[in-house]
Chains A and B, each alone.
Chain A
Amino acid sequence: MTNFMARTARNFMVIKAAREIKEEIEKAGLDNLKLLCGNGVSIVGTYLNGCTPKEQARLRQQFGNLLNFGVTPEMVLDEVTRQIPDLALIIEKRPDYKKTELQKVKEFLKAG
Chain B
Amino acid sequence: MANQNQVLQALSSEGGVVTTENLATSVGTTQDTIRALCSKLKTKGYVDGSTKEGWTITSDGREVLERGLKIPTTPEDVGADTESKFKYYGKLAGVDPDRILAVTEAVLTSDPENLEHVWEVMTQMDIAMPNRRRWFNSWRYYLKQGIPAELKEKVIGSPDEEKGEALSFSAKERGKDYIIVDEEPVRVGAGLGDYGLQDAKDILGIRALRNRFTGAGQPGAPPAATEKVSELLTALGPYINKGSDTDTLKEILADKLALQRQEILSHIPQPVQTAQPKSFIEQITGFVAALSSLKEAGPILRSILGVPETTANPFTPAQVIGLDGQPSVMDLTKVLDLRKFLAEEKRADEKHQTLIKFAETARENIPDGIQAILKTVSEAKAGTEAKTTAASQPQMFECGNCKTPFSAPAGWAGQALKCPNPQCGREYSKEELLK
Contact = CB atoms under 8 A, between A and B. Distances in A.
Interface string A1-18: 000100111011011100
Contact of A7 (B368, B369, B379): B379
Nearest to B378: A11
B372 A8 contact: yes
B158 interface: no
Nearest to B380: A4
Contacts of B368: 12, 15-16, 19
B369 A12 contact: yes
| Interface range on chain A (Cβ under 8 Å from partner) | 10 to 19
Which of B371, B376, B380 counts the most A-chain CB atoms under 10 A from its CB? B376
Q: Is the interface of A mostly helix, strand, loop or mixed?
A: helix
B418 to A, nearest CB: 42
A7 B377 CA distance: 9
B320 interface: no
Contact of A4 (B365, B369, B371, B376): B376
Contacts, number: 28
A15 B380 CA distance: 17
A16 B376 CA distance: 15
A15 B376 contact: no
A60 B66 CA distance: 142
B372 A9 contact: yes
Contacts of A19: 368
Nearest to B367: A15
Contacts of B373: 8, 11
Nearest to A79: B375
A7 B371 contact: no
B45 to A, nearest CB: 121
B375 A11 contact: yes
Contacts of A11: 371-373, 375-376, 379
Contacts of B369: 8, 12
B238 to A, nearest CB: 113
Nearest to B369: A12
Nearest to A12: B372
A12 B373 CA distance: 8
Contacts of B375: 11, 15
A78 B61 CA distance: 136
Contacts of B371: 11, 15
A60 B98 CA distance: 147
A16 B371 CA distance: 10
Interface in A22-67: none
A23 to B, nearest CB: 13
Contacts of B365: 12, 16
Interface string B252-293: 000000000000000000000000000000000000000000
A4 B373 CA distance: 9
A19 B369 CA distance: 13
A4 B379 CA distance: 10
B263 to A, nearest CB: 92
A71 to B, nearest CB: 11
A7 B365 CA distance: 17
Closest 7 CB pairs of A and B: A12-B372, A11-B372, A8-B376, A11-B375, A7-B376, A15-B368, A8-B372
16 contacts: A4-B380, A7-B379, A8-B369, A8-B372, A8-B376, A11-B371, A11-B379, A12-B365, A12-B368, A12-B369, A14-B372, A15-B371, A15-B372, A15-B375, A16-B365, A19-B368
Given A11-B372, A12-B369, 6 more contacts: A4-B376, A8-B376, A9-B372, A11-B375, A16-B365, A16-B368
